[in-house]
Amino acid sequence: MKKIALFGYSGHAYVVADAIKLSGYETVGYFERAEAHANPYSITYLGYEQDEQTLLPLRTEGIPGIVGVGENNIRQKVMYFLKRQGVNCTSVIHPSGIVSGVATIGEGTFVAAGAKVNPLAKVGAGVILNTGCIVEHECSIGDFAHIAPGAVLAGSVSVGEGSFVGANAVVKQGVRIGSKVVVGAGAVVLKDIPDNQTWVGNPAKEISK
């Protein structure tokens, strides 16, 4: 049985823990600043990852981890820290998630229930493809992006590193979304979005800062 360590244990991490369990894998424990008050999956608390000694069993036994943190910047920081400490990250795909055999998924990426990744899509490291989202053929998603529940990326869409596409948003085929972009829930994106912008609405438009 494959063993996985979970980093973070609230909110999004519960979704990841559920997928790990349903996939027939074992969560050996979770890492957090402090022991969680709620423990719906009865997972063992292993300590805080910044205390490097707590990671020793993972390095010794070659147990990979996955970062169950929804916020892109934090997920990135934790994954980079783990890499420096010699702990590998693994991807988790919910049993009802569908990933084409000719698509690629980076390390530490999570594919949630009902998510679909179609042929020749390229998904980076540390990405969240959340519940029921659709990543169509030949899309490209940068590291540490988050495609929220129900969002649809039509064919050949590009999403930059660290960007967030909100729940039920729709992105027209061929559109390029830059890095560190936020697309609001329900937005309909019909044209390219430069880096570091927030767009909302139908059709989506930039929110002035």
In degrees, rounded to 5, the angle at the alpha carbon of residue 72 between the alpha carbons of residues 70 and 77 is 110
| Burial of residue 154 (number of CB atoms within 10 Å: 0-12, 13-18, 19+) | middle
Q: How far apart are CA 82 and CA 59, in angstroms?
A: 10
Q: Give pLDDT, residue 52.
A: 76
pLDDT digits (tens, 9 = 90+) for 13-34: 999 999 999 999 999 999 999 9
Rounded to whole angstroms, the Cα distance separating 78 from 12 reads 15
Residue 209's pLDDT is 58
Per-chain mean pLDDT for the chain: 96
pLDDT at 8: 96
Instruction: Note the pLDDT of residue 53.
Output: 87
Alpha-carbon distance values, 175 to 139, 142, 157, 188, 189 (Å): 10, 14, 5, 11, 8
Q: What is the mean pLDDT of residues 56-63?
A: 92
- Rounded to the nearest 10°, the torsion over CA 71, 147, 172, 163 is 30
Gap between the terminal Cα atoms of the chain: 50
Kindly list the catalytic residues. Answer: 137
User: What's the CA gap between 69 and 202, in Å, rounded?
Assistant: 29
Query: What would the two tokens of residue 30 be?
Result: 């979770």
Residue 78 has pLDDT above 90, yes or no: yes
Q: Is the pTM of this model over 0.75?
A: yes
- For the chain, what percent of residues have pLDDT higher than 90? 96
**Digit-coded pLDDT (tens) for 175-186:** 999 999 999 999
Q: Which neighbouring-strand residues pair with 165?
A: 147, 183
